[in-house]
A = this chain, B = another copy of it.
């Protein structure tokens, strides 16, 4: 029996016991009016019970005062059977309050917070907690609408054993506020939570957790973030943004999360015993990024992290001399000791963010030229099974780091070869998933100032007798694992969706709309061969594959309505294969909702023909595609091709994360073949990826306003290679961004303008 199943059964038994008790003694409330009436008279020790069912459009204000011994508890009748839905939220104010067992879903908050630890500015919560709750995709309709799902105020509050996932709009999922003396020295506990997937946002402000902000970065916070599981938290480059002092990050697991634990502002953080797990394929999964002063980073375990620069396993940044409050202070007085880096080919990056060469396009107050100083790297272990001879990458001199007693099992051929990083021939044993430890202790360690306080290892074993380099000393207790799922989240909610076999419907195309409406996520629709006219728009709000019954012959769909052929809605995921779509020149082939694109969509075209439309793809501001993939496709007779260019505020947002256009033909596209835009000087995001490869473009661009065929302004990764451009009356094929390594490769060009490379892009400052 799996552990999870066991827990579920065990929980059910417990629930049954509770229910029996409740039905006798505790009043179950069924309306918000009853609830508020009950709260108004609640006394220390009271239980306030929400009856099972859906509570829709409720704004719960839980203002009361319990005592340490007798808190006031607001809870679900049955854990997981009370759903807060619609336009709803919860405010908690007072002392010694507990909220538990609620499930927020199918809605969003009417204010800017879902669960707020204050009822008004004069009434923060103190010594109160939210525990064993779920917040699931309780996201704003508009990506640009800002909110937080949990916002801490007051002191000594707790968020524990919750499952929180699926925020796709602007704003950190959890935010600790420090504005005002009532809220500092807060000692909040954010513990044992499961932060489930947060999708890529396609712009900044997609942190999972932010503690303070630059304006309160001088405050003592003492927030404790321990024993949490961050699973694929991909919102932006910062999974956690620590922006206050004395925060503690201990024993958390960061699993395949595209970002880093970032010490963005504030000082003296403790990062101890955390586990960072990447994978072989991603360069977006980071580890820890260090800014500011006095942090202690120890006993952490980094595994299979392949990221670089901001997303390096360990990135130590350059600061701005005398930095403005909201930019980058110099790194000073940081200690990095007793960490293990396993299968991280280049674990240490120094002077990340150095941009002295960009002084032509950036003001002096943005130039990160202050190297890290008074910083100690000691007793760290680097292991790579394959040859990996560049443990250090540096963007500036490395003259402020003291290296002592670090070891690697590979030769160090980096530019920087400190004496304190030596090559030692050692091997490792695999003890459990992703957990590799040396076969013997490397006992020669450095004892720096205050190192005697590092007296245990990653697993809490004393270092007194068996001290050794790296996060883990041996022997390791039996059955140790890096990720113990039972530590995280609620005792009643299983975030793992059951796998479902997709169904296949073979239909006449006239039934396409209705079939999709009734199909389930992942289903496949096979269209009978032929040519058909559809005087409608096909809505896509789930994963749907549409293909032709005859794999050798495309189905031709003639769209005659004025509206778009396919309308992509939130979570729409359309895979079109072997289909030809033809328009009447007035509509778009694919488009998103004009607004409320609350969640990302995907579009995969393979062996498709698109013709006689206004635009191949037209998107709205706020819409976001995770992937647009166009392969083996023919695009012709259009005003424009793919337009992903609506985020014009220059605030770092963009309309798609990955755009692949390969092995395809564009002919007679009058305007721009592709306009893929990201504006604003921002380093928070992956920043867009374009692969435009092996395509043929002919007779296009003649009406392009600025005489450019392919526009990719501000997109960080762009490959334009192996294409053939013939007879396109433009001035430029594309402008590429030299600093990011962009250059045209192996393109054939005839009567089609040229490529231009701009080394340093001038971008609007957002700060």
Contact = CB atoms under 8 A, between A and B. Distances in A.
Contacts of A184: 294, 333
A322 interface: yes
A380 to B, nearest CB: 18
Interface stretch (A323-331, A469-477, A672-680): A323-331
A245 B219 CA distance: 10
A28 interface: no
Contacts of A215: 330, 332
A267 to B, nearest CB: 5
A630 B695 CA distance: 89
Given A324-B323, A325-B322, A450 B218 contact: no
Given A324-B324, A449-B182, A219 B294 contact: yes
Interface in A300-330: 322-327, 329-330
A179 B374 contact: yes
Contacts of A723: none
Nearest to A182: B449
Interface string A445-482: 00001100000000000000000000000000000000
A365 to B, nearest CB: 7
Contacts of A325: 322-325, 329
Contact of A220 (B182, B268, B327): B268
Contacts of A322: 214, 324-327, 767
Contacts of A335: 181
A323 B324 CA distance: 5
Nearest to A364: B365
Nearest to A268: B220
A293 interface: yes
Interface in A243-278: 245, 267-268
A326 B329 CA distance: 11
A292 interface: yes
Contact of A449 (B181, B324, B365, B450): B181
A627 B214 CA distance: 47
A293 B219 contact: yes
Contacts of A326: 322
Interface string A732-767: 000000000000000000000000000000000001
Given A181-B294, A449-B182, A218 B374 contact: no
A208 to B, nearest CB: 25
Contact of A218 (B179, B182, B218, B327): B218
Contacts of A293: 218-219
A165 B215 CA distance: 40
A282 to B, nearest CB: 34
Contacts of A294: 181, 184, 218-219
A220 B294 CA distance: 10
B365 A324 contact: yes
Nearest to A324: B322
Q: Which interface residue of A181, A294, A324, A450 has the most chain B CB atoms within 10 A?
A: A181
Q: Which interface residue of A214, A215, A218 has the most chain B CB atoms within 10 A?
A: A218
Contacts of A292: 218
A320 to B, nearest CB: 9
Contacts of A245: 218
A495 B406 CA distance: 57
Given A179-B374, A181-B450, A184-B294, A218 B267 contact: yes
A25 to B, nearest CB: 38
A449 B325 CA distance: 27
A317 B449 CA distance: 38
Given A219-B294, A292-B218, A326-B322, A374 B450 contact: no
Interface in A359-390: 365, 374
B374 A329 contact: no
Nearest to A265: B218
A246 to B, nearest CB: 9
Nearest to A333: B181
A449 B184 CA distance: 12
A180 B179 CA distance: 29
Contacts of A365: 324, 365
Interface in A181-197: 181-182, 184
A244 to B, nearest CB: 11
Contacts of A214: 322
Interface string A147-182: 000000000000000000000000000000001111
A293 B218 CA distance: 8
A215 to B, nearest CB: 8
Contacts of A449: 181-182
A403 B292 CA distance: 36
A611 to B, nearest CB: 52
20 contacts: A179-B332, A180-B333, A180-B374, A181-B335, A181-B449, A181-B450, A184-B294, A214-B322, A218-B218, A218-B267, A218-B292, A218-B329, A219-B267, A220-B268, A322-B324, A322-B327, A323-B325, A324-B324, A324-B325, A325-B329
Given A182-B449, A325-B329, 11 more contacts: A180-B374, A181-B449, A181-B450, A184-B333, A214-B322, A218-B245, A218-B267, A219-B267, A220-B268, A323-B324, A323-B325
Interface of A: 179-182, 184, 214-215, 218-220, 245, 267-268, 292-294, 322-327, 329-330, 332-333, 335, 365, 374, 449-450, 767
The 8 tightest CB contacts between A and B, nearest first, are: A322-B325, A322-B324, A322-B326, A218-B267, A181-B333, A218-B293, A182-B449, A324-B324
